[in-house]
Amino acid sequence: MNQIRPAAPETLPARLYRDPELYQTERREIFARSWLLIAHESQIESANSYVATNAAGFPIIVVRDKDGTIRAFHNVCRHRAGPLADDGQGKCEGQLVCRYHGWRYALDGRLASARDFGPAEGFDPREYSLKGVKCESWRGFIFINMDETAGPLSKFIAPLIAKTAHLPLEKFRFERQTTHDIKCNWKTYVENYLEGYHIPLVHPFLNSAVDASKYEVDVSAPVIFHQAPPRDGSPVGGLWAWSWPCLGVNVYADGILMERMWPVGHNLTRLDYLYFFPDDIERAVMERSVAASEITTEEDRKICESVQRNLDAGIYETGRLSPKHEQGVAWFQKEVLRAIG
């Protein structure tokens, strides 16, 4: 009997990968409406500690107060848009003090004092609290959502919660962050992450470790799981996943790598790698694991930048996606189109 094979879906048109206006639409319609991993609780373990980062062009700060409550705000002062903290981890002294003119905010966001403003200035500080954003934790990982009407995080990442229920995520602590700038549109990088079709050509080392011909992609929207059996026959352990819109989740026996794929502009993507390891891991094992993922990233950087150059050249318009290998890419592209309308 003849089998009817699904038609190979067409790719998104190349112009969607080089359009600065579309990038602004994506910031608004995708990144400002999704749950985004921002930090881990072990990065802000003590009172008054914070992490500040730039999430797709939105400066965000998460801070822990003396009672242990974690809150998130736009890292934007209500006076004249100064920053409350530079990007990175740090500690404040019970208040967030704007770096520009020194307005001081309590850690619940209320404006505590506006330097050299008094009653005569006729302004009510209660109207100038920091703009808050939703903030929820999942097993130590802190996510934010800028959309006040967003549903709970647990619903958004439900497939991830279910598939990791048996994994001991709590034994891992934040170890370090590395950052890689890739000169391509964020979608170019994400799509590369969502398929194993390129492994035999782009990643010789990874290809020697896993059997890419048996690579499997399972779309449990909005999470996409990947699997490839190790060539040495050892059982597949851990987890290799991606969650809409830009988070890679890699859980191994001896570490976790959370990969954020932030757009910085329409033609630049910033990868933030957050590495987590158990306390008792040997230094050499940890460094080997970091080095291996940095090699793979360098290989992906090269190919994604070449692809972006060709998307920018104006020759390629659309192509076809493999129904066998690129169903994750197909789902992502459909979701992008849905989100941007």
**110 contributes a contact to ligand FES by CB under 6 A:** no
Q: Given candidates 15, 80, 231, 324, which one binds ligand FES under the rule CB under 6 A?
A: 80
Both tokens assigned to 191: 């799509």
Q: Of the ranges 101-109, 150-158, 212-220, 289-297, which one interacts with ligand FES (CB under 6 A)?
A: 101-109
Half-sphere exposure (Cβ direction) of 267: Cα atoms closer than 13 Å = 13
| Angle, vertex CA 307, rays to CA 250 and CA 217, nearest 5 | 35
Only segment of 55-63, 79-87, 191-199, 279-287 that touches ligand FES (CB under 6 A): 79-87
Rank residues 104 and 203 by Cβ distance to ligand FES and give the closer one: 104
Measured CA to CA, the distance from residue 2 to residue 293 in angstroms comes to 43
Structure-block tokens of residue 25: 């639409």
Q: How far is the CB of 58 from ligand FES (least distance, A)?
A: 17
Name the DSSP class of 219: E
Question: Does the protein bind ligand FES through residue 109 (CB under 6 A)?
Answer: no
Nearer to Fe ion, 136 or 300 (CB): 300
Distance of CA 231 to the CA centre of its chain: 30
The entry of ligand FES, Fe ion, none near residue 82 (CB within 5 to 8 angstroms by kind) is ligand FES
Closest CA to 155 of 245, 222, 242: 222
> Residue 15: which of ligand FES, Fe ion, none does it interact with, CB under 5 to 8 A by kind?
none
Taking the C-alpha atoms of residue 25 and residue 87, their distance in angstroms, rounded to an integer, is: 24
Q: Is 191 in the site for Fe ion (CB under 5 A)?
A: no
- Does 326 participate in binding Fe ion (rule CB under 5 A)? no
Q: Which does 195 bind (CB under 5 to 8 A by kind): ligand FES, Fe ion, none?
A: none
Q: In what order do the strands lie in the sheet with 111-113?
A: 95-97, 104-106, 111-113
Least separation in angstroms between residue 127's CB and ligand FES is: 15
Among 103, 174, 189, 225, interactor with ligand FES by CB under 6 A: 103
The pattern of x and - marking residues 272 through 311 that bind Fe ion according to CB under 5 A reads ----------------------------x-----------
| Shortest CB 29 distance to Fe ion, Å | 27
CA distance 48 to 65: 5
Q: Is 205 in the site for ligand FES (CB under 6 A)?
A: no
Residue 131 Ramachandran class (φ > 0 left, ψ -120 to 50 alpha, else beta): beta
CB nearer ligand FES, residue 50 or residue 172:
50
Residue matched to tokens 């059996």: 229
Total Cβ atoms within 10 A of residue 237: 10
**In 145-252, alpha helices (H):** 153-156, 158-163, 186-193, 199-202, 204-209
**123 binds ligand FES per the rule CB under 6 A:** no
**DSSP count for the chain of H helices, then E strands:** 8, 17
Structure tokens at 334: 């459909």
From the list 82, 125, 132, 238, which residue makes contact with ligand FES (rule: CB under 6 A)?
A: 82
Residue 300 contact, options ligand FES, Fe ion, none, Cβ 5-8 Å cut-off depending on partner type: Fe ion
Could you list the residues that contact Fe ion (CB under 5 A)? 300
Could you list the residues that contact ligand FES (CB under 6 A)? 77, 79-82, 98, 100-103
